[in-house]
Every structure is written in C-alpha cells, then in structure tokens.
Structure 1
C-alpha cells in the first residue's frame, strides 16, 4: 500500500510538471494580410509546395551530377571450395592421342580491390537536360505561387465571413435593444390598460425569436473562427481576434480599370504554369529525339588482385592491373522503341498546346464573369442598403403611430419583421459582394 502511494505521488508530480511545460494558449490579433502571411508559413499545402521547390533544386543538381566523373570502388573475395578442373589434350604430355589429362589451375583464395571511373564526354540527351533545368525549376516555382494564391483566396474569404458575422451580431444587438425597449413600454401600457395582452405576446414572441437568432449566430461565429484558424494552419485552441474591419475593405476601387477589357489571362498563375509546362514538354521531346544520336564516354580502372592457397597469406602478394579507354555507343535498332517514345512525346506536346489555348479562353471568360458578378453584387448591396434604411424608417413611423394610439401592434411587429429580413438580405448581399471582389481580384491576376 505504501509503495502504491509513492507511485501515485510520483505520477502526479510528473503530470504536474508536464502540464506546466506545455505552452499556454497563445493569442493573435491579425489583419487580413497578417492571416495570409501566417498561412504562408504554417498551412501544410503551402509548406509542401515550398518543399517541392527545394526538391526540384536537388533534382536539377542530380541531373547536373550526371556529367561529373562517376567513381566506384569495388572489393571482392572468393574461397574456391573446389578448384575448377580443366582437361588438357594428353598428347601435350606424351599421352596417346584422344586422351585428356585433368589439371587444376588457380588457388583456393583470391581477392580483388579496385577503383572504376567513367566520364561522360558527349550525350545530346544530357545537354538538352541541362538546357531545360531552369524551366524545370520555374515549373515548381509557379506551382508554389499558385498554391499561395489559392491559400490567399481561401483565407480572405474566411476572414470576410467573420467580418460579416460580426456585422450581423451588431445588427441583431441593435434590433434586440430596440425591441426590448418596445417590449418594456408595451408591458407598462398593458398594466395601465392602454393595450391588450395579445400585443405584449406578439412582441414577446418576436423578441424571443430574435434572441434565439442571435445565439445561433454567435455559435456560427465561433465555428467560423475555427474555420479561419484551420485555413491558416493555426491550432484551434489558440485565440484569434480580428484587426481589420469592414470599413477597411474598398468595394468600389479600380472600377474604371475593371471596365477596360485586357488580356487578364496573362496575369494568371494558372496560365503561366501551363506555359512553363508546355516548354518543359518541348524540352522532353528534344531529349527523346536526341536518343537517336551516339554517346561517348571515357572510362578507367585500377585493380589489385590477390591470390594464395593460404588465407593468412592472401594479401602478402599483389598483382595490380589497370586500363583506360573510350566507349562509343551508336544506336542502331531498338525494336522501334525510340520512335514510339518520340511519338508519345509529340502527343504530350500537342495536348499541352491544346490545354494552353483552352485555358486562355477559359481564363478570359472567368475574368468577364467575375467582373459581371462583382458589378451585380455591388448593385445588389446598394439596393439592400436602401431597403434596410427604408425598413428602419417604416419601423420608426410604426412605433410612433402605435405609441400615439393611431397604429396597431401588428403594424409594429410586421415592420420589425421587415427590418430583420432587410438586415438578413443586407448581410447576404455584403458577403456576396466581398466574395465577388476576391474572385475578381483573382480573375484579373491581382493576387500574387
């Protein structure tokens, strides 16, 4: 029992020390750009794309290394459990013709230590590979840039969603405070006998519904905070607050520039990626064609040979040998393999050219569509603002009429409902406009 108590105390002390060693939940306050920069450093897709760039660098170095001297060391040892037997003609030793005498040549133990070296002197495929190394690295750099753009878009939209949720909570708080005041006034008037109980109930129902909507919105707001933290690669237990506000977002900027139709596709990372891929495919076609040409390499070797019937004396005497030479390899016939590889590479180039042409049309269409959606979103948002102001004015007049006894509670509750609908439509229009702005900036290649 005493031993068990000691173990429990030690375990408790260890757990306490472990908990104290854990970092406390960190708190961050980010602007939109801060959130994007954090995602560049912590989101796995961006980090992996950056690692792909490093891997491409190593791949280029690997290709370059093929033109350096290739040196290998070799070592071998043999123990002939039975030395091979060779039959020699008997007449050599004075025996009758047609007879053979078995003779064993060699020793029981042998060993070889050597160094082999080769140097590529001429290989068209290697030369073309060196010419395409910059294009190969450019492909991965462009892919990394496209991943960053995708992340920028996703993070910005998630940030805007939070800003819209916060604006929605503000509107709900204002409506709840206004409705609470009206409810208190109606309850007081009911006690004095100026209004009926049903008027109190109507406003109470609307008030409760509005409070419930606010609670649901707050839960959704908390969830969207988690979504933003996930998008930027931040642990969800960290605390995050927003520095940017809706007033910082200029929805109507660059309107004159957007009205001018330009070749927006050239600014898109996707188009540049396809262009680079096409150039790389053309290099590959040249490399495959170069396989029809001869290759030349130099080679050399130096070997130490050891032989003895006694393992202990195996390395007492050495028999060195060495050579240098040239190897010329001339392709003659490979069963049409090289020809078929060329045709496959030609088809790959054609497909890349088709994809590039289609991408040009698709990206131009995307830019036109994004511009249309943006202008429609702005117009809808402006209309929703005006509707919201009108609904607020209608509610103000309905409340005055109701307080003066010339209006009904139904008019007030209906006006309150209309204001809530106008607020909801405004919130939706605001989010749509913000998202369409992000899509427009991406379509015109402004996000880099």
Structure 2
C-alpha cells in the first residue's frame, strides 16, 4: 500500500512539475513593422548573429591583448626517490686510471618558483592586425545586418501571405453567400415547376465545391499563421492577430518611383560584405609581407630554487636567480615559404576583387529583374482586378436573364465558374505583387 501511494505521489509531482514548466500562451496583435521588430529580437538566427558580433568584439580584444605584457608563473616540485648517480674518473680521488667512483649529486627534495615577463616591442604582424581589427568587426556587423534583412523580408512575405489568405476567405464567403441564396431560389422555382431538377443540381454542385474550397483555404490560413509564427520566432501556442490589412500596403503603380539611385548596389549588404572580405584579404597580404621583417621583444624572469634532504626544511633556504634581456628574431631563409605565402595571398586579393566586380554586375541584373517582375505583377494585378469586376458583372446579367427566362442555367453556372477563376487569379496576382514589392525593395537596398 505504501508503495502504491509512493508511485501516485511521484506521478502527481511529475504532472505538477510539467504544468509549472509549460508557459502560458501569449496574445499578440502586430502590424507589419511590429512583427518585424519582434522577429529581430526573438528569431534564433538574429540572436545568434548578434552573438557573433559580440564574439568578434572579444576576438578584437584578444588581438589587442597580444601587445600587452605577458606574465606567467611556474612552480615545480620533485621528490627524488633515488638521487641520480654520476660516475667520476678515479684519478680525481687518487684511484688507478680507468676506474670510476660513483657519486650522488643533489638532494632528495627540490622545488622551483619562477615568474616570467615578456613584452612585445616591435612586430609588424601585430601592427597590421591592429589596423585590420575594425574591418574584422565590421564584417560580423554586416553579416548581422544581412541576417536582419533576410528576416525582415521573410516576415513581411509571411505576413502578406496571411493577409492574402484572409482576403481569399472573404471572397469565398461572398460567393458562398450569394450562391446559397441562388440555391434557395432555384430550389423554390423547381418546386413550383419553373425550372428543372438538373438546374438545382448544377448550382448545388458549385455550392458544395465552393464550401469545400473555403474549408481547405481555412486550413491553409491556419498553416500560414504557423509559418508566420515560425518566422517570428514565436511559440506555436501563442495567439497572433494582424493589425494591418491589404489597404495599408502601398503598391506604387509607377515602378520608376521605386528606382531613384543608379549606385544602389553600394547600399546592398551583399556588396558591403564583399567589400569587407576584400579589405581583410588585403590586410592578410600585408601581414604575409611583414613576415620578412624582424621582431623584437623584451623579457625578464625571477626564479627561486629550494633544495633540501628534509621536506620540512625544504623552503627554509632559497637560491634566487633573475635576468632581463631582449630577443631579436631576424628571418633569413625559410625555403621560399614566406615568398610563396605572399603570392598566394596576392591571388586571394585578386580573386576577391573579381568577385566584387562580378557581384556588382549580378546585383544590377537582379535589381533590373526585380523591377520588371514588379512592373509585370502590377500590370497583372490591375488586369485581374478588371477581369474580376467583369466576371461579377457577367454573373449578375446571367442571373437576370435566367430569372427572366431568356437565359439558361448553364450560362449562370459558367458565369459563376468564371467568377471563381477570376477571384483565384486575382488572389494569386495580389500575392505576386506583394512579394515582388518586397523583392524590389531588397534588390535596391531599401530594406536595412
């Protein structure tokens, strides 16, 4: 009985601990900008990129520290279980030549305490390292900025995807509402003998398909919300609602308004990253060339030696020693290793210059492609909007003709299908326009 009670108490304690560790879901209502700000402070990639910047800062401090005095201490202790024996020539002790006398030098216990100091006085590599520390940190800061830009673009697209899905649901609701009314009217007319049963069936099939499409769209909408939460770095259990709507998203009709600077590529973070890489390779080339120059350092040491056959008296008497000095290291010949390293570093610099020039051309092409895609998407959106209005008008006229007996149910069904197709094409064009706008802003370096 006690064992059963113990098991029950352990299980209860486990559930209690689990309940305590589970976080209460939070509720958020974000605009696009608020969603981006949240992601920049909660998304794991942004957090890790920020940590890389801190790590780079510590690395710079590490490089600077190489020019500070380097102080180290050492302590040793030896217990000679058997004191080493040395053979001395017998002649030293009046013995015949060729004989040796075993003699033990030293004591059983020995200990040394030492303190050394070194100070770098001249090292070209260190000087160049100091010159390049700003560029080194700049590289990680720009990498962090690149991560932020990538997160901003992904969050914005995911946000727009949810807005478009909501708009699609609204269109489906409107179509379902009018189609439901049409089903009721047609069913009533069938009972009165004014229309055939097949007319009711045609409209019912369309209605059922539309309801199924709405249910599928709602499931996709829930998935889009989960994708947005993932891009935000938000828990899947949190509740998220969106404050902005599609009317708040500016879609400039004139694409020329979005293109204002011919040197836009200099604002692209990819170009800035490539520039930082080029600078670092140039510093590395200088460092390799500096390997031909001598280095000079100062050093000093203080040591105290203790020796005794009695462990208790080991530290009673010390034998100190100390020195100060300079060390000059002059490279003379290394089998042409340094020369070949310089040539390799020079090739790396040349390659990075070529990459930077190629990146400029690539970014220009990318921007032009984004501009054309945005222009095409705006044109398609405007065209699909007109088609949507026309399809809605065609359906309205078809219904009137059908009700007046001068049209057929097939004509109404076809008009309804055309409206659904126009709605779907409008939704797709709307999403394409929103996404291409984000791509255009990124291509011209407007997302920072």
Cα drift, residue 346 of structure 1? 1.3
Cα drift, residue 353 of structure 1? 0.8
**Structure 1 gap ranges (5+):** none
Asked whether the 8 Å contact 1:49–1:144 carries over to 2, the reply is yes
Query: In structure 2, what is the equivalent of residue 443 of structure 1?
Result: 443
Query: In structure 1, what is the equivalent of residue 31 of structure 2?
Result: 31
Cα drift, residue 176 of structure 1? 0.3
Cα drift, residue 148 of structure 1? 0.5
Determine helix, strand or coil for the equivalent of 1:189.
helix
Query: In structure 1, what is the equivalent of residue 203 of structure 2?
Result: 203
Asked whether the 8 Å contact 1:57–1:137 carries over to 2, the reply is yes
Query: In structure 1, what is the equivalent of residue 141 of structure 2?
Result: 141
- The worse-fitting range, judged by mean Cα deviation, of 72-81 and 127-136 is 72-81
> Mapping of 1:99-248 within 5 angstroms?
99-248=99-248
Asked whether the 8 Å contact 2:259–2:444 carries over to 1, the reply is no
Equivalents in 1 of 2:126, 2:14: separation in Å? Answer: 60
**Structure 2 gap ranges (5+):** none
CA deviations on 1:14-58 (whole Å, 9 max, x unpaired) are: 624652663321111111111111111111111111000000000
Cα drift, residue 88 of structure 1? 2.8
Asked whether the 8 Å contact 1:265–1:360 carries over to 2, the reply is yes
- The worse-fitting range, judged by mean Cα deviation, of 102-111 and 207-216 is 102-111
Cα drift, residue 258 of structure 1? 3.4
- The worse-fitting range, judged by mean Cα deviation, of 155-164 and 23-32 is 23-32
Q: Over aligned residues, Cα RMSD in angstroms? A: 1.6
Equivalents in 1 of 2:242, 2:112: separation in Å? Answer: 72
Query: In structure 2, what is the equivalent of residue 386 of structure 1?
Result: 386
Asked whether the 8 Å contact 1:264–1:367 carries over to 2, the reply is no
Q: Residue 431 in 1 paired to residue 438 in 2? A: no
CA deviations on 1:232-276 (whole Å, 9 max, x unpaired) are: 111111111111100011111774433556122111000000001
TM-score with structure 1 length normalisation?
0.97
Equivalents in 1 of 2:96, 2:276: separation in Å? Answer: 80
Equivalents in 2 of 1:322, 1:21: separation in Å? Answer: 61
Query: In structure 1, what is the equivalent of residue 263 of structure 2?
Result: 263
Equivalents in 2 of 1:375, 1:262: separation in Å? Answer: 18
Asked whether the 8 Å contact 1:187–1:200 carries over to 2, the reply is yes
- The worse-fitting range, judged by mean Cα deviation, of 327-336 and 112-121 is 327-336
Asked whether the 8 Å contact 1:86–1:104 carries over to 2, the reply is yes
Cα drift, residue 192 of structure 1? 0.5
Query: In structure 1, what is the equivalent of residue 419 of structure 2?
Result: 419
Equivalents in 2 of 1:40, 1:199: separation in Å? Answer: 56
CA deviations on 1:347-386 (whole Å, 9 max, x unpaired) are: 2111111110110000001111110000000000000000
CA deviations on 1:132-180 (whole Å, 9 max, x unpaired) are: 0000000000000001001111111111111110000000000000100
Q: 1:46 to 1:329 in 2, by over 3 A?
A: same
Q: May I ask how many residue pairs the two structures share in their alignment? A: 448
